[in-house]
Structure 1
Amino acid sequence: MKTYAIGDLQGCAHEAQLLLDRIFDAGGSDARILFVGDLINRGPDSLGALRRMKALSESSGGRVEALLGNHDLHLIAVAVGAQRMSRSDTLDEILAAPDRDELIAWLRQRPLAMFVDNHLLVHAGVAPQWDAAQTMALAGEVETMLRSDGYIGFLGAMYGNDPDRWDDNLEGMARLRCIVNALTRMRLCTEDGSMDFKHKESESGPVGSGLLPWFDLPGRRTQDVTVVFGHWSALGLIQRPDLIGLDSGCVWGGKLTAVCLDDRSLLQVDCPEYREHSGKR
């Protein structure tokens, strides 16, 4: 059984189906398929994408799974009244759908990290202080909260940029917020691991800023595994021995990308420019 990881869909349901068809043709109907988050928002058919992923997940016996990305968490928060929609959101069809409650309930059960055959999958990044085992454990803390009766209160307090650096002594909402920000929002950091949330459109920080991509921070403790992530369309596709970046800008007129984790072979689908480039990625 081959295992494929797929980058950010962001509501591009048609392209997702084209890519899935190619995967099934290449790897057989028993392929394992893992999405790195941001199934919805910005693209033309968020409702169709979410319904398709839910149906595939529920009928696959665990072979199809999707991580939670920042847009997926945003949808859950909007659906329960813990956050307002922004002008660039394309969530109205989901929120008005007769099966919205079932869709949101399914999203709430999704993981924030997966560890598969020495590949650590996250949506955005991993704090440099974490190894793979700690990443999975910390993701589990947030997953437990999202699946609990107190999830609405958590979602209401989830937003914010502080604390911007991980400390093992963090507690309560500060701890959970830092975990969420690392796993679903992080791109650039200072050398000590402090997360920067201002610079979204480039692959590096301004000259002299001292900002580095999170995966190039010195001493990162996940260098012994391959981290697979999305979230950063400005980077495009990245393949290194210890790193696979999968957000190839589907919704921005790029490609939707799948990588076979067994042999690093690529499958890609060209996408129309559904959205003009902006900082809201």
Structure 2
Amino acid sequence: MPTYAIGDIQGCELELQRLLERLKFDPAADRLWFTGDLVNRGPGSLGVLRLVHSLDACAIVVLGNHDLHLLALAAGNERHARKSTLDEVLSAPDRDELLHWLRHRPLLHHDAAKGYTLIHAGLAPQWTLGVAQTLARELEETLRGAHWQDFLLAMYGDQPERWRPDLTGIERLRFITNALTRLRYCTTDGALALKEKRPLASAPKGLVPWFQCPGRKSRDARIIFGHWSALGYWDQDNVWGIDSGCLWGGNLTAVRVRKSKPIEPVHLPCEGYLTPGESGD
């Protein structure tokens, strides 16, 4: 039963269909992991949601920042509405079914048998994998609970930038959200540097990728993530970054996940719909 992890799609529906054809994906036998950011900016967010939703148990999706943005818009938080291309989803006849399904996706998936963990962006350097799993469940329970809209109305913000176990309320939930769905760089002493997104070659002094932060407690965990298109495909430091910038004219990347064999990438070249620098995260 092959398992493939697929990087950020961001509404690139045709490219996803072509990648599945290249993989010879068989829903009766194969399984797919998605790093999140199914939607936004590309032209086919509604089609991507419908396709992945239709896969049912064949697909595991972890939520990304753009997926949470869609849910925030649905909850009435229009803070970043002008940057969105999500009107088609929000006005679709099956919108409620799709949003309910999306709201119940995990923030972190760990496969003990294969020995890999799937997230969208990063892990705070102070977290072990076990701590990250516990905190992801806290956020999942909030998103699936009766007061999910209240959280999404207060979700945006860069503070707090440093993890403390005694964080409570919205500060605790916002930090968990930012680490799992927005993180790229940390300071060398472990604070989140959420505004920085440039490639490693031009990283500012004093900042390091989250997976190279000194003393990172999840260093022994094998982690697959997306979110960082400027990083490109990455397979060092016991992590695999598979957001290869399909939206921006790079690749849509899949990797075959197997316990005892090296990860094998498959790259589908994409024409792209945006030019890097046109918009934010």
TM-score between the two structures when normalised by the length of structure 1: 0.93
Which one is further off, 230-239 or 259-268? 259-268
| Paired position in structure 2 for 1:177 | 174
Deviation for aligned residue 1:158: 1.1
Deviation for aligned residue 1:2: 1.7
Deviation for aligned residue 1:169: 1.2
SS at match of 1:39: coil
- Say whether the 8 Å CA contact 2:250–2:271 is kept in structure 1: yes
- Say whether the 8 Å CA contact 2:212–2:237 is kept in structure 1: no
| Paired position in structure 2 for 1:266 | 265
- What stretches of structure 2 of length at least 5 have no aligned partner? none
Q: Establish whether residue 18 from structure 1 lines up as the match of residue 18 from structure 2.
A: yes
Deviation for aligned residue 1:63: 2.8
Q: Establish whether residue 186 from structure 1 lines up as the match of residue 199 from structure 2.
A: no
| Paired position in structure 1 for 2:107 | 112
Q: Distance in 1 between matches of 2:104 and 2:21?
A: 26
Q: Distance in 2 between matches of 1:3 and 1:248?
A: 19
Deviation for aligned residue 1:271: 0.9
Q: Distance in 2 between matches of 1:95 and 1:85?
A: 15
- Say whether the 8 Å CA contact 2:107–2:140 is kept in structure 1: yes
- Say whether the 8 Å CA contact 1:24–1:31 is kept in structure 2: no
Q: Distance in 2 between matches of 1:76 and 1:199?
A: 24
| Paired position in structure 1 for 2:164 | 167
Give the AA of the match of 1:129.
Answer: Q
Q: Establish whether residue 149 from structure 1 lines up as the match of residue 146 from structure 2.
A: yes
Cα displacement string for residues 219-268 of structure 1 (whole angstroms, at most 9, x for unaligned residues): 11111111110000000001126110000000000010000111411222
Q: Indicate which of 93, 96, 100 corresponds to 1:98.
A: 93
Q: Distance in 1 between matches of 2:18 and 2:238?
A: 28
Give the AA of the match of 1:280.
Answer: G
Give the AA of the match of 2:29.
Answer: D
Q: Distance in 2 between matches of 1:96 and 1:202?
A: 36
Q: Once superposed, what is the RMSD of the aligned Cα atoms?
A: 1.5
Q: Distance in 2 between matches of 1:111 and 1:215?
A: 21
Q: Distance in 1 between matches of 2:213 and 2:230?
A: 19
Cα displacement string for residues 37-59 of structure 1 (whole angstroms, at most 9, x for unaligned residues): 00000111111111111111x2x
- Say whether the 8 Å CA contact 1:233–1:249 is kept in structure 2: yes
SS at match of 2:266: strand
Q: Distance in 2 between matches of 1:156 and 1:175?
A: 15
* Equivalent runs, 1:1-281 vs 2, <5 Å: 1-24=1-24, 29-56=28-55, 58=56, 62-116=57-111, 117-203=114-200, 206-207=203-204, 209-240=205-236, 242-262=238-258, 263=261, 264-278=263-277, 279-281=279-281
Give the AA of the match of 1:118.
Answer: G
- Say whether the 8 Å CA contact 2:11–2:39 is kept in structure 1: yes
SS at match of 2:117: strand
* 87 and 203 in structure 1: CA distance in 2 versus 1, 3 angstrom threshold: farther
Give the AA of the match of 1:71.
Answer: H
SS at match of 1:65: strand
SS at match of 1:83: coil
TM-score between the two structures when normalised by the length of structure 2: 0.93
- Say whether the 8 Å CA contact 2:211–2:237 is kept in structure 1: no
Q: Distance in 1 between matches of 2:142 and 2:202?
A: 33
Deviation for aligned residue 1:203: 2.8
Q: Distance in 2 between matches of 1:241 and 1:170?
A: 29
